[in-house]
Amino acid sequence: MGLLLIFDMDGTLIDSEQSIVRCFRESAGRLGYNIENASRYIGVLKLTQILSKNGVPDRDLPEIMKLYVQCYLNTFMEDTWPIQNSQIVLEKLQEYHQLGILTLKNLNLTLEIAKQFFPRVKFRYVVCGDRPIENKVEGLKIIINESGMDPGSIYYIGDRASDVKSADEAGIKSVWVSFGLGKKSDFDFRSHYRTANSYDELLEMFTSRT
How does the average pLDDT of the chain come out, rounded?
95
Rg (CA), the chain: 17
- Assign residue 56 a region: left if phi > 0, alpha if psi is -120 to 50, beta otherwise? beta
Domain residue limits at 139: 4-15+81-207
Q: What is the CATH number of the domain that holds 188?
A: 3.40.50.1000
23 and 106 housed in the same domain: no
Answer for the pair 200, 88: CB distance below 8 angstroms, yes or no. Answer: no
> How many helices (DSSP H) and strands (DSSP E) are in the chain?
8, 8
110 and 50 housed in the same domain: no
Answer for the pair 196, 84: CB distance below 8 angstroms, yes or no. Answer: no
Query: pLDDT digit string (tens) for 114-124?
Result: 999 999 999 99
Answer for the pair 100, 146: CB distance below 8 angstroms, yes or no. Answer: no
* pTM, full prediction: 0.94
Instruction: Please count the structural domains in the chain.
Output: 2
48 and 138 housed in the same domain: no
Tell me the pLDDT band of 1, cut-offs 50, 70 and 90.
low
Query: pLDDT digit string (tens) for 127-155?
Result: 999 998 989 999 999 999 999 999 999 99
86 and 154 housed in the same domain: yes
73 and 93 housed in the same domain: no
Strands 154-158 and 173-177, sheet pairing:
parallel
